[in-house]
């Protein structure tokens, strides 16, 4: 521990040798290396995730075939097919490699309750869920920016009021919010019918149900970032140059506040998939969430494995993208010696 | 990608939300304050001066015009407006309004969880089918449900499930997080990297989905729900605890302790563990809201306590089919949930602020 | 760019006798829920064209608040009043913020202490300077790029075209500060306010920055320097105002103040500055006889026999340490260094930031293993010792760090802090309690502080507690890494006196690591000069500092600001 601590201390050192040398050529390579490393670590996470799911199947009580077959465990034909497909008569490590080899091919097994390939089911469900998650992300960001503009407006006493409102909104259970939206907006006012699941109208309420909690969560982080940034010495310097408070806020502070938000958007995309489980249930939309709920209720193990892997992949993809965006925003992350944080 | 805290719950422990009450200046601008009489002997200015942020804000018109008082030509450059209401405001601000609001709610919920019979005389499971879906009235302040059971009674009895499952899940998560986080912080470097990766992977599953995944294997029911939820929020806690422990391990006092000849085990026992434990009650309180929402969400999906239990999420799930006829059965459990979550978050944040002040 | 350099705005030219800044009876008060502070209590301040005025004071004197008030940037809770407040002849009282914005940058420029945080880390220095240029031209002027480069060149940027595209964290401390000064000069202000502009810098760089500010003053800009360091401001300031608790206690030319101070506070302040001339003298006034004198002597007499007076208590033999940096680079922090500390000796290690002195300290303490060479404690190689012996050796070498506050577990009281090292010893409870009291007495801390938590202590008290804790182990050597650099000069004086006194009374050897030549010259007997991980020169302090033979030592000594008496 001391070593690493001291190394950073020492890094600050040697101004003439380390800091001032503009190594123009080296930077491009260093940046490329940074990106490659990030992508490799994403793949590593995926590999561990796949292995963990395998471990879960192995460690689950009872025999694996019955576990995979669920309600169909007494069907001898399916039993034989499953044993073959998963290599269950082989030693464990062979099973592991069989499993590992199948996944990149998109072969995630068969859902015996739905009597369909898991990958087909997922492909069917992914479309609506991705649409929902993406629109919700966009709406959440819009909410966050607008609410932050209101939050950070220089009006006395405003912050106490807005933060109180935000706390309540954030504390609403998301499924209750969804029920309220459905009851009030759709049933009472007759807007945005959810009957035709393909229409844009049916997308509005589920999107709001997902985007409101997530948007206000981002608002908190963004506003906090702005408030923190305008207290930094560089903001004082900017003011001392004659910049207006608004210019300091929007030219300097917002960029600083955006950094954690960019990171969080990545996390939120993963969270939105979790949220989709409930929203899809309440609004009766098809999608990965519905699949997941059904799979859990009937103990359809291959299907829940598939959903889990897909959502992990989505999360990893999102967080990798987000890290790369962060590198684009923050020059300090670009130089490899920017330190651990 | 160092996620600060608990992305599972929409409640962020990082950002203080409530009670950002503006600090009201108590000195009326028109009063000339005799310097020597009021000022403390050695003002430590740096400790008091907030960063020069608000200086930007144009002061109200009245304050800007130069006021020439006959005795001493005092020129106001900028000053805060003074009103009698401000003094009142300052007094009100000193009251911790957030706690005034939060603690009674938590007290009522705790009472409902421990002794629901004190709050209502009705039976949560015993209904009169002829009184199905009665609107709120004196007799049934929150109406009745399909089977004619009193909704208010069921909400009161539901507190027990939500609080028990939420608290249980929080405690499980914190204890697991403590083991994993602390273990990882003191482990050799290679093991740290392995455990960091594993935590990354667990964090990659949305908490709710991770819990659902586990329930697939363990089966439904309240006990499994507690374990699954606790495990689902493990990564967030593990990261937080590890981060805190790493800060302690790199701190000046641990370095100092090494010069006393203390072994690593002693250092962990004497400094790292107590400092980590000190923050745990706060973490549990702040995480409680998220855990309660999570538990009710899973119950809502039918993965927790089974009917006819009066769990709040389950009540909401049951009400869904009759939203058009009996909105009240969907409103009250939701209000109860929201109130508990707001109150526990407020309490947690208040505790955290107090704890952070202690460190400074 | 000549415009930036030369011509001044009309108002001050019109009336050459009237000062650029004229402030009378300035008061600044802060009122918050918890506290009321009258930070500035009626000070008068006037600065003419081409004049450099310095405000000098310790922390809490109100000097920084005064500086910010001159730009209308004091905190929102501040109430500012003045009998007169004129800039370039214009009355600024009652000015709304919009009006202040016209003045900031174009008439008054501000330079803050730490350029790393005072420049936006997400923007290049070029962008920052351009922003400052544009702030008053109203529109985006086309020639900004060239103007930025000219301005950077003016403040001494080598290769400004390339450097303009770099971020603050990519520049050295000196260049960063120059960039910050460039942003403050962009609007060609009549008055430049510099708040501790060189405090975060090494002395060689500090000299350059002071020179830059001085030259700016010579072109006609009025300069207000805020500093805690009399020696620094005496280099450039024409007039010095000494502030204490919000009031100006004395005012005069630098020569007057330094040569013939009138006010007792100024005298005390000057006396407290350590230098070659103060060797062997007490820096802080007052208290001679203290509680615990007798107690302590007994302890000493018990202790002395343990050292034979010949074997060095601490010795580093040809130690080296290299750190791997990311990107396959490495930093040779310490290269082939020898240090010998005789029993009871006072050894100083001097170097600028990055010279490797802190790494060396950590090797002496056994916190880092050297890559090559070895550290011996009382003749016993650290490496050869087994676990039990290491514990014993560790206790012989104790550590006092720069930041005392962070070296205390926040949960502990003073008693627990000082007792902690003793807990693993064989001492009984009562013996430990007695040792704690002894250690407090040695460091002149009242026993009433035992139950206090460190956050309620003053900076000086904290450092005393840290020293008391180190002494509780009755070590042979105290390794002090910049122990006074975070302290005000009067507190620094007390701590230096304490260290000298402890060395004399208890015979504990001291390794004193510092960047401050004056402090080292005052305290130690032998000195080692470190530069880029190597010892470039060593010997008795008088010889090394009076007849330096190595060019680096010579540069270092030339750069030290001296009180020009």
Q: What CATH number does residue B305 fall under?
A: 1.10.3720.10
Averaged pLDDT of chain C: 83
Closest approach of chain A CAs to the CA of C544, in angstroms?
A: 24
Q: Name the residue with higher pLDDT: C320 or B194.
A: C320
CB contact under 8 A, C76 and B80: yes
Q: Which of residues 377-436 of C touch B (CB under 8 A)?
A: 390-395, 397-399, 401, 403, 406-411, 420-421, 424
Which residues share a beta bridge with C376?
C315, C381
pLDDT value, residue C427: 82
Is C297-414+458-463+472-559 the same fold as C1-101+222-268? Answer: yes
Residues in chain A with CB shorter than 8 Å from the CB of B250 are 1-2, 4-5
Q: For residue A130, how many other CB atoms are within 10 A of its CB?
A: 16
Instruction: Tell me if B7 is assigned to some domain.
Output: no
Range of the domain at B296: 156-359
Which residues share a beta bridge with C86?
C22, C91
Closest approach of chain B CAs to the CA of C164, in angstroms?
A: 28
pLDDT value, residue C509: 93
pLDDT at A139 over 50: yes
Structural domains of chain B, count: 1
Helices (H) and strands (E) in chain A, counts: 15, 2
pLDDT value, residue B359: 47
Residues in chain A with CB shorter than 8 Å from the CB of B24 are none
pLDDT value, residue C465: 92
pLDDT band at C360 (very low <50, low <70, confident <90, very high): very high
Q: Which residues are CB-neighbours of C298 under 8 A, at least 6 positions away?
A: none
pLDDT value, residue C132: 87
pLDDT value, residue C512: 93
pLDDT value, residue C474: 86
Nearest to B44 among C60, C73, C392 (CB): C60
pLDDT band at C7 (very low <50, low <70, confident <90, very high): very low
Closest approach of chain B CAs to the CA of C540, in angstroms?
A: 29
pLDDT at C54 over 50: yes
Closest approach of chain C CAs to the CA of A141, in angstroms?
A: 22
**Which chain C residue's Cα is nearest to B61?**
C96
Q: Assess C72–A contact: CB distance below 8 Å, yes or no.
A: no
Nearest to A332 among C169, C173, C184 (CB): C169
Nearest to B259 among C31, C35, C365 (CB): C365
Tens of pLDDT, residues A253-268 = 878 888 777 777 777 7
Closest approach of chain C CAs to the CA of B198, in angstroms?
A: 24
pLDDT value, residue C530: 92
Per-residue tokens: C100: 């202040």
B:C CB pairs within 8 Å: 202
How far is Cα B205 from Cα B202, in angstroms, rounded to an integer? 6
Chains contacting chain A through 3 or more C-beta pairs under 8 A: B, C
**Which chain B residue's Cα is nearest to C456?**
B360
**Which chain C residue's Cα is nearest to A7?**
C323
Instruction: Tell me if B172 is assigned to some domain.
Output: yes
- Alpha carbon of A209 to those of A132, A218, A270, B158: distances in Å? 10, 15, 16, 25
pLDDT value, residue C442: 87
Nearest to A242 among C101, C323, C355 (CB): C101
Per-residue tokens: B301: 């999906």
pLDDT value, residue C526: 93
Tens of pLDDT, residues B17-47 = 333 333 322 222 222 233 333 333 333 322 2
pLDDT band at A26 (very low <50, low <70, confident <90, very high): low
ipTM: 0.75
CA angle, C333 then A22 then C177, to 5°: 80
- Of the residues C23, C95, C403, C409, the best mutation for testing chain B's interface (the one with the most B CB atoms within 10 Å of its CB) is C409
How far is Cα A60 from Cα B208, in angstroms, rounded to an integer? 20
How far is Cα C531 from Cα C542, in angstroms, rounded to an integer? 19
CB contact under 8 A, B206 and A281: no
Q: Which CATH superfamily does the domain covering C1-101+222-268 fall into?
A: P-loop containing nucleotide triphosphate hydrolases (3.40.50.300)
Tens of pLDDT, residues B239-250 = 888 888 888 888
How far is Cα A65 from Cα B36, in angstroms, rounded to an integer? 86
What average pLDDT score do residues A205-225 get?
87
How far is Cα A81 from Cα A84, in angstroms, rounded to an integer? 5
Q: Name the residue with higher pLDDT: B82 or C27.
A: C27
**Which chain A residue's Cα is nearest to C359?**
A6
Nearest by Cα to A303 from A105, A103, A122: A122
Q: Which of residues 29-58 of C touch B (CB under 8 A)?
A: 29-33, 35-39, 41-42
Q: Assess A328–C contact: CB distance below 8 Å, yes or no.
A: no
Q: Name the residue with higher pLDDT: B125 or C527.
A: C527
Ranking A142-146, A265-269, A274-278, B49-53 by mean pLDDT, the lowest is B49-53
Pick the CATH number of C297-414+458-463+472-559 from 1.20.1440.230, 3.40.1010.10, 2.30.30.360, 3.40.50.300: 3.40.50.300
Q: What is the 3-state secondary structure (H, E, C) of B308-337?
A: CCCCHHHHHHHHHHHCCCCCHHHHHHHHHH
Closest approach of chain C CAs to the CA of B49, in angstroms?
A: 6
CB contact under 8 A, A256 and C109: no
Q: Which residues are CB-neighbours of C94 under 8 A, at least 6 positions away?
A: B64, B65, B66, B75, B76, B77
Tell me the DSSP string of C470-521: HHHT--SEEEEESTTTTS-HHHHHHHHHHHHHHHHHH--EEEEEES-HHHHH
pLDDT value, residue C536: 92
Tell me the DSSP string of A70-136: GGGTT-HHHHHHHHHHHTTTS-HHHHHHHHHHHGGGT---EETTTTEEHHHHHHHHHHHHHHHHHHH
Q: Name the residue with higher pLDDT: B337 or B146.
A: B337
A:B CB pairs within 8 Å: 209
Instruction: DSSP letter for B144, please.
Output: B
Nearest by Cα to C76 from B57, A233, A227: B57
pLDDT value, residue C138: 59
Helical H runs in A103-232? 118-151, 158-171, 174-181, 200-229
pLDDT band at B92 (very low <50, low <70, confident <90, very high): low
pLDDT at C452 over 60: yes
Averaged pLDDT of chain B: 70
CB C125 within 8 A of CB C163: yes
CB contact under 8 A, C82 and B58: no
Q: What is the SS3 assignment for B18? A: coil
Q: Structural domain boundaries of chain C?
A: 1-101+222-268, 297-414+458-463+472-559
Across C12-26, C77-91, C293-307, which has the greatest mean pLDDT? C77-91
Tens of pLDDT, residues C537-548 = 999 988 998 899
How far is Cα A160 from Cα B156, in angstroms, rounded to an integer? 31
Nearest to B198 among A48, A157, A268 (CB): A48
**Which chain B residue's Cα is nearest to C81?**
B76
How far is Cα A285 from Cα A129, in angstroms, rounded to an integer? 9
How far is Cα B265 from Cα B261, in angstroms, rounded to an integer? 12
Q: Assess B79–C contact: CB distance below 8 Å, yes or no.
A: yes
What average pLDDT score do residues A100-123 get?
79
Closest approach of chain B CAs to the CA of C308, in angstroms?
A: 23
Q: Name the residue with higher pLDDT: C486 or C438.
A: C438
How far is Cα B64 from Cα C81, in angstroms, rounded to an integer? 11
Burial class of residue B148 (count of CB atoms within 10 Å of its CB; 0-12, 13-18, 19+): middle
């Amino acid at each position: 521990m001391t070593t690493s601590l001291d190394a950073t201390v020492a890094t600050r050192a040697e101004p003439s040798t380390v800091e001032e040398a503009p190594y123009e050529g080296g930077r491009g390579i260093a940046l490329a290396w940074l990106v490659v490393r990030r992508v490799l670590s994403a793949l590593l996470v995926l590999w561990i995730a796949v292995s963990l799911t395998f471990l879960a199947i192995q460690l689950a009580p009872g025999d694996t075939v019955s576990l995979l077959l669920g309600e169909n465990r007494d069907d001898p034909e399916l039993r034989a097919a499953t044993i073959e497909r998963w290599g269950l008569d082989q030693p464990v490590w062979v099973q592991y490699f069989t499993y590992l080899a199948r996944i990149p091919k998109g072969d995630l097994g068969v859902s015996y309750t739905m009597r369909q390939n898991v990958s087909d089911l997922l492909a069917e469900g992914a479309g609506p869920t991705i649409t929902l998650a993406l629109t919700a992300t966009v709406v959440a960001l819009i909410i966050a920016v607008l609410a932050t503009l209101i939050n950070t407006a220089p009006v006395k006493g405003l912050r106490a009021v807005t933060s109180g409102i935000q706390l309540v909104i954030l504390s609403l259970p998301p499924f209750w919010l969804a029920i309220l939206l459905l009851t009030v907006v759709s049933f009472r006012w007759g807007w945005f019918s959810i009957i035709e699941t393909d229409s844009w109208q049916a997308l509005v309420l589920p999107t709001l149900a997902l985007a409101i909690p997530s948007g206000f969560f981002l608002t908190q982080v963004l506003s906090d970032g702005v408030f923190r940034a305008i207290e930094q010495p560089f903001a004082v310097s900017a003011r001392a140059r004659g910049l207006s408070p608004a210019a300091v806020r929007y030219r300097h502070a917002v960029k600083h506040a955006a950094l954690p938000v960019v990171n969080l958007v990545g996390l939120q995309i993963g969270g939105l998939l979790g949220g989709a489980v409930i929203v899809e249930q309440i609004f009766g939309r098809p999608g990965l969430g519905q699949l997941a709920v059904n799979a859990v209720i009937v103990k359809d193990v291959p299907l829940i494995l598939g959903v889990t892997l897909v959502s992990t992949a989505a999360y990893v993809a999102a967080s990798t993208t987000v890290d790369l965006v962060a590198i684009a925003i923050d020059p300090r992350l670009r130089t490899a010696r920017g330190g651990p944080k | 990608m160092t996620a600060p805290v608990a992305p599972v719950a929409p409640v962020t422990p990082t950002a203080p939300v409530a009670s950002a009450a503006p600090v009201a200046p108590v000195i009326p601008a028109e009063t000339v304050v005799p310097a020597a009489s009021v000022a403390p002997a050695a003002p430590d200015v740096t400790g008091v001066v907030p960063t020069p942020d608000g200086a930007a804000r144009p002061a109200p018109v009245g304050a800007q015009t130069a006021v020439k008082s006959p005795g001493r030509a005092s020129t106001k450059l900028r000053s805060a407006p003074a009103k009698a209401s401000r003094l009142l405001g300052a007094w009100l601000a000193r009251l911790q309004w957030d706690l005034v609001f939060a603690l009674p709610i938590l007290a009522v919920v705790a009472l409902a969880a421990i002794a629901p019979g004190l709050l209502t005389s009705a039976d949560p499971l015993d209904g009169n089918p002829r009184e199905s879906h009665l609107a709120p009235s004196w007799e049934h302040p929150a109406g009745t449900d399909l089977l004619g059971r009193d909704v208010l009674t069921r909400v009161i009895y539901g507190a027990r499930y939500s609080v028990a499952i939420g608290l249980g899940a929080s405690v499980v998560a914190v204890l697991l997080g403590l083991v994993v986080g602390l273990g990882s912080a003191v482990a050799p470097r290679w093991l740290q990297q392995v455990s960091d990766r594993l935590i990354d992977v667990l964090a990659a599953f949305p908490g709710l989905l991770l819990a659902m995944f586990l329930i697939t294997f363990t089966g439904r029911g309240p006990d499994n729900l507690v374990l699954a939820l606790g495990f689902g929020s493990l990564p967030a806690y593990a990261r937080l605890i590890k981060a805190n422990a790493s800060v302690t391990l790199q701190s000046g006092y641990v370095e100092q302790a090494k010069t006393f000849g203390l072994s690593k085990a002693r250092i962990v026992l004497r400094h790292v563990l107590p400092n980590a434990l000190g923050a745990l009650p706060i973490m549990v309180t702040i995480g409680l809201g998220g855990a309660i929402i999570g538990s009710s969400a899973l119950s809502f999906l039918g993965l927790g306590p089974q009917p006819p239990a009066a769990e709040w999420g389950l009540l909401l799930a049951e009400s869904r089919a009759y939203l058009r006829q009996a909105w009240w059965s969907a409103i009250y459990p939701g209000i109860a949930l929201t109130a508990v979550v707001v109150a526990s978050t407020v309490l947690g944040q208040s505790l955290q602020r107090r704890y952070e002040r202690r460190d400074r | 760019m000549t415009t930036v350099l030369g011509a001044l705005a009309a108002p001050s030219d019109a009336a050459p006798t009237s000062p650029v800044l004229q402030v009378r009876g300035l008061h600044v008060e802060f009122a918050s829920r918890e506290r009321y502070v009258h930070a500035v209590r009626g000070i008068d301040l006037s600065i003419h064209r081409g004049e450099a005025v310095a405000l000098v004071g310790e922390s809490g004197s109100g000097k920084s608040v005064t500086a910010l008030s001159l730009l209308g940037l004091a905190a929102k809770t501040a109430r500012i009043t003045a009998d007169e407040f004129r800039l370039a002849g214009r009355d600024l009282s009652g000015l709304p913020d919009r009006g202040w914005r016209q003045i900031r940058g174009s008439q008054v420029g501000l330079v803050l202490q730490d350029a790393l945080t005072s420049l936006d880390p997400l923007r290049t220095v070029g962008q920052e300077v351009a922003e400052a240029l544009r702030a008053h031209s109203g529109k985006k002027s086309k020639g900004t790029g060239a103007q930025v480069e000219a301005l950077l060149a003016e403040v001494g940027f080598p290769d400004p075209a390339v450097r303009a595209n770099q971020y603050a964290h990519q520049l050295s401390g000196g260049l960063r500060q120059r960039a910050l000064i460039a942003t403050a000069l962009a609007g060609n202000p009549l008055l430049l306010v510099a708040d501790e502009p060189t405090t975060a810098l090494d002395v060689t760089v500090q000299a350059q920055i002071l020179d830059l500010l001085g030259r700016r003053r010579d072109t006609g800009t009025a300069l207000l320097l805020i500093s805690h360091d009399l020696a620094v401001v005496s280099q450039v300031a024409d007039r010095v105002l000494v502030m204490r608790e919000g009031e100006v206690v004395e005012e005069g030319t630098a020569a007057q103040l330094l040569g013939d101070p009138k006010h007792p506070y100024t005298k005390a302040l000057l006396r407290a500055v350590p230098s070659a001339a103060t060797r062997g003298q007490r820096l802080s006034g007052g208290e001679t006889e203290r509680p615990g004198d007798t107690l302590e002597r007994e302890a000493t007499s018990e202790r002395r026999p343990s050292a034979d007076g010949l074997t060095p208590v601490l010795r580093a033999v040809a130690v080296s340490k290299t750190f791997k940096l990311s990107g396959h680079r490495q930093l040779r922090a310490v290269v082939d260094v020898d240090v010998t500390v005789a029993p009871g000796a006072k050894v100083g290690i001097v170097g600028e930031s990055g010279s490797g002195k802190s790494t060396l300290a950590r090797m002496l303490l056994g916190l880092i293993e050297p890559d090559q060479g070895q550290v011996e404690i009382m003749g016993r190689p650290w490496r050869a010792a087994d676990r039990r012996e290491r514990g014993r050796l560790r206790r012989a070498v104790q550590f006092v760090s720069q930041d005392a506050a962070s070296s205390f577990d926040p949960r502990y009281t003073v008693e627990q802090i000082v007792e902690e090292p003793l807990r693993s010893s064989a001492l009984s409870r009562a013996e430990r309690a007695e040792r704690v009291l002894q250690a407090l007495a040695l460091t002149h801390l009242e026993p009433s502080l035992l139950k206090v938590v460190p956050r309620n202590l003053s900076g000086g008290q904290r450092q005393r507690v840290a020293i008391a804790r180190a002494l509780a182990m009755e070590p042979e050597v105290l390794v002090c890494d910049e122990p006074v650099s975070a302290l005000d000069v009067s507190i620094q004086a007390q701590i230096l006196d304490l260290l000298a006194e402890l060395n004399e009374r208890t015979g504990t050897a001291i390794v004193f690591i510092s960047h401050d030549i004056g402090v080292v010259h005052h305290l130690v007997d032998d000195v080692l000069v470190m530069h880029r991980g190597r010892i470039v020169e060593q010997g008795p302090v008088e010889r090394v500092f009076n007849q330096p033979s190595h060019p680096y030592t010579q540069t270092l000594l030339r750069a030290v600001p001296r009180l020009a008496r």
